[in-house]
Chain A
Amino acid sequence: MRLFVLQLFRFIGLFSVLYILFFLFVLPRLMVISQGPNIKDQVDQSFKNALNRDYDILVLGNSRTYRGINPDLIEIPTYNFSLDNDTYNQLYYKLKYLKTNNKKFKALILGMDYFQFSFISDTRNYAYASYFDSDYLNDYPSKNYVLLYHLRKLKPNRAEGLRFPRKNRPYLKQNGQFYREGKATPNDRANRDISRKEIQVKYFENILNYCAENNIKVFLLFLPTRENEMKSYTDNQIKEFHNFLDQYLTENVFLLNFTNDTTYSIDDFADITHLTPKAADRFSKQLNDTIMAIYLSSFTPSILNEGINNSEKFINSY
């Protein structure tokens, strides 16, 4: 009996040591080789470039804008400050971060998703906490997010993302867009929640108020969305959602809704929700035309009609 328990402890002990060493030190490096920069590196690079680069338009949003907008294809200097899984509270603190660092811009492209109000993301807190005001964490339960981050590294399913290094390895561009290839399949599914948490509505309004105070134009942007994802919502829910959004639309807040743009097919998606880099480029050009039309209409009335004609089907359409 004693021998059995002793052997078992030896076996488990040796395995645990190997496991911890591998998951803490080897796997993160392998993941970088296989999957590109980790989230912490992405956050650091993204925040650094947000201060170092010059731009007039800022893009904020979640992974859909992070991957789906290529600032290089927008005629006005633009920076993509989005990140996977960002929610409005985090986007608001990003604006505050830029303000604290005296970074100014003239327009904001704010990524919109029907599910975007339904949760409060905490998966980046270990990284964001060092960039944001201390009150950022007041919206979250008191936890040691850095310790949790390291513990999370030990979760067995972290190894799932490990693949053989690919030719087109994901990477973060200097302009803030995340490049990631992929191929959507007809069976991709997503369960989305269209409900709105009060806290996210509050931060969404904070963002709009901030922009109004600083004379920043806001483009509320819905990117092209797959039918499979839209199945999560009913027509009534979408109608109600837009009724909600309508109250925020002003002469400086525009709604650009590309959700049902039929020119995007399954081949343009990398998975259930993200555009491929190629489709992102196409979309960015399209977005550029639309924004330019609005921008120019603000200053040059003669071009207004032409610009609007090109883009009217996307502006405020739903």
Chain B
Amino acid sequence: MLFNSIAFAIFFPIVFALYWFVFSKNLKIQNILLLTASYVFYAFWDWRFLLLLVFISSINFLLGLLINKPLWKTRSSIWFIVGIIANIGILSYFKYANFFIESFINLFSILGFSLQKSTINIILPLGISFYTFLSISYIIDIYQKKLQASKNLIDVLLTLSFFPIILAGPIQRPISLLPQIQTKRTFNYSFATDGLRQILWGLFMKIVIADRCAIIVNEIFHNSINYSGSTLLFGGICFTIQVYSDFAGYSLIAIGISRLLGFDVMRNFSLPYFSRNIAEFWKRWHISLTTWFRDYVFLPISYAISRKIPSDKLWVIKTDIFIYIVGISITWMLTGLWHGANYTFVIWGGINGFFLIIYQVLKKPRKKLLKYLKVNKDNLFLIALERIYILSIIIVFWVIFRAESMGHALDYISGIFSPSIFTIPEFTLFNSVFTTIILICIFILIEWFTRDKLHPLFQLEVVLNKPTRWSIYYAILITIIFFAGKQQEFLYFQF
């Protein structure tokens, strides 16, 4: 069930009405309702995989209890390891089995051995990367005694399958979601209206900006060989905008829906394209995932290495830099792999890691250089230059991310940097492309001028009276109706 579908427009008001009007006095029944709604929402895609979701979350419920209070004279760590292996094993099977089989076959064929190709026909369960990560953090947090394992099955099942966030995040960790599920929710007017505003802006981002860009992007990427460098660059820029407005739009809708149900879900995007460096970009992009990897992969690796290396220097490299390089490389390879079983994602992750390392290594020299040149770090020209630079790199990253294979990515990028980059892009090839460009410009300007807010419609009631506010909402709704692109699935569903 897509958030921007008729089915959801019928489904959610029913859940909302039952939740607040019928069962508002009974927390247990409210949670059962939410769990049922979550399963209906998920089963709408494929009911068979609902069983997998129930299985995974039930297993994690049991493992949580066993880690908290081990039985049969076992130790917590045993159950913790079992939990991690089980979760990663299931994810690996569904997401990476064919990728690894093919990779091994290719590796053996390079070495001169010929193996018969026999991949398995596996359907990737929707949202598996998201709910597996929720499950893993549940296990880890219990093991690290940051979270008390819940004895209530319903609460845990709901934590791991809460419908607004199950398919594409934000990855709201059980450590903050579970206590909210266990606590009685009271309806908060301003909280709910803010939720509606986030939904409205999210729908605008998704339906108008992302879906319109998708038409251009799909065409250019599918037929990239036929297009000039400037058109390819235009396609890259459009995908950069599409992937942001699609995913950030989805996150806003998910957060908004959660708010309508009384839940506070973390912010997932914070205007990433206005970043000045790659590290800042990744602090602002898909925040719930990057912080997840930071806390559960990067930091444990860094601590583990730092304990093994007592000296300040390792060969010629400073220990902290060495730890950073190792930690970031592993973290970003995994981040790439998390996005999909394709070398494009692994290389995309690797390149991101590489640029993060470069940034970290050059941080101090940059500071010294600016001091030497007597350039203030807040110099407007410098800020603009850095933003353009980082955006250019990100566009190239997204091309790799979007490409069907590494060969395609390289062809696309070399196509961009061909002499035809200096020609006028073939805008006329696409219907209503100028309308899309104008809408994108308006969107960017709104995001820029409201960059200090959580979202562009945040706390409008403080500065605007009701008729003006409603006019703005109507204007957005009308824009959605008039300028909707062709309905597309949310990009991050594939992960």
B429/A185 in contact, CB under 8 A: yes
- For the complex, what is the distance from the CA of A11 to the CA of B474, rounded to whole Å? 9
* Contact A159-B482, Cβ < 8 Å, known A4-B187, A185-B428, A186-B429: yes
Q: A186-B226, A187-B223 are in contact. Are A3 and B189 (CB under 8 A)?
A: yes
A4 to B193 CA separation, bound complex (whole angstroms): 8
Determine whether A15 belongs to the interface, using a CB cutoff of 8 Å to chain B. Answer: yes
Contact A187 B481 (CB under 8 A): no
Chain B residues with CB under 8 Å of A183's CB are 428
**Known contacts A11-B470, A183-B428: does B189 contact A4 (CB below 8 Å)?**
yes
- Expressed in whole angstroms, the minimum distance between the Cβ of A21 and any Cβ of chain B is 13
The residues in B between 395 and 435 inclusive whose CB is less than 8 angstroms from any CB of A are 428-430
Question: Which residues from chain A contact B20 at a C-beta distance below 8 Å?
Answer: 1
User: A1 to B482, Cβ gap below 8 A?
Assistant: no
The distance in angstroms between the C-alpha atoms of A7 and B189, with both chains bound, is: 11
Q: Measured between alpha carbons, how far is A11 from B193 in the docked complex, in Å?
A: 12
Chain A residue with minimal CB distance to B13? A8
The reply on A134 being an interface residue by CB < 8 A is: no
Q: Does A162 contact B (CB under 8 A)?
A: yes
Is A301's beta carbon under 8 Å from chain B?
no
A144 within 8 A of B: no
Minimal beta-carbon separation of B423 from chain A (angstroms): 16
Residues facing A in B461-495 (CB within 8 A) are 470, 473-474, 477, 481-482, 484
- CB closest residue in chain B, given A159: B482
Distance in angstroms from B444 CB to nearest chain A CB is 23
A156 touches B (CB below 8 Å)? yes
Closest-CB distance, A293 to chain B (whole angstroms):
39
Residue in A1, A159, A186 whose Cβ sees the most chain B Cβ within 10 Å: A1
A309 at the binding interface (Cβ < 8 Å): no
Given contacts A4-B193, A159-B481, contact A11 B429 (CB under 8 A): no
CB distance from A90 to the nearest CB of B (A): 28
Determine if B481 and A156 form an interchain contact, defined as CB atoms under 8 angstroms apart: yes
Within 139-169 of A, Cβ neighbours of B (below 8 Å) are at 156-157, 159-160, 162
Q: Report the bound CA distance from A157 to B219 in whole Å.
A: 21
CB distance from B70 to the nearest CB of A (A): 45
Cβ–Cβ < 8 Å partners of B189 in chain A = 1, 3-4
CA distance A15 to B192 in the complex (A): 20
Closest to B470 in A: A11
Contact B484 A11 (CB under 8 A): no
CB contacts (< 8 Å) of A14 on chain B: these are 470
Chain B residue numbers with a CB within 8 Å of A162 are 482
Q: Which residues of A sit under 8 angstroms from B187, Cβ to Cβ?
A: 1, 4
Q: CB-CB < 8 A to A159: which residues of B?
A: 481-482
On whether the beta carbons of A11 and B473 are closer than 8 Å, the reply is yes
Provide the A245-287 mask, 1 if CB < 8 A to any CB of B, else 0: 0000000000000000000000000000000000000000000
CA distance A183 to B430 in the complex (A): 11
Smallest CB–CB gap between B451 and chain A, Å?
Answer: 27
Contact B428 A156 (CB under 8 A): no
Within 8 A of B (CB), among A1-52: 1, 3-4, 7-8, 11, 14-15, 18-19
Contact between chains at A15 and B477 (CB < 8 Å): yes
Which residue of B has the minimal Cβ distance to A22? B478
How many angstroms between the C-alpha atoms of A11 and B187 in the bound complex? 19
- A183 nearest in chain B by CB position: B428
> Which residues of the other chain, A, contact B193 by a CB distance below 8 angstroms?
4, 7
User: Once the chains are docked, how many angstroms separate the CA of A280 from the CA of B484?
Assistant: 33
> Which B residues fall within an 8 A CB radius of A?
20, 187, 189, 192-193, 196, 219, 223, 226, 428-430, 470, 473-474, 477, 481-482, 484
Interface residues in chain A, defined as those with a beta carbon under 8 Å from any beta carbon in chain B: 1, 3-4, 7-8, 11, 14-15, 18-19, 156-157, 159-160, 162, 183, 185-187
Given contacts A1-B187, A183-B428, A186-B226, could you give 12 more A-B pairs where the C-beta distance is less than 8 Å? Answer: A1-B20, A1-B189, A4-B192, A7-B193, A15-B474, A156-B484, A159-B482, A160-B482, A160-B484, A185-B430, A187-B429, A187-B430
30 contacts between A and B (CB under 8 A): A1-B20, A1-B187, A1-B189, A3-B189, A4-B187, A4-B189, A4-B192, A4-B193, A11-B470, A11-B473, A14-B470, A15-B474, A15-B477, A18-B474, A19-B481, A156-B481, A156-B482, A156-B484, A157-B484, A159-B481, A159-B482, A160-B482, A160-B484, A162-B482, A185-B428, A185-B429, A185-B430, A187-B219, A187-B223, A187-B430
- The 3 tightest CB contacts between A and B, nearest first, are A156-B481, A1-B187, A185-B429
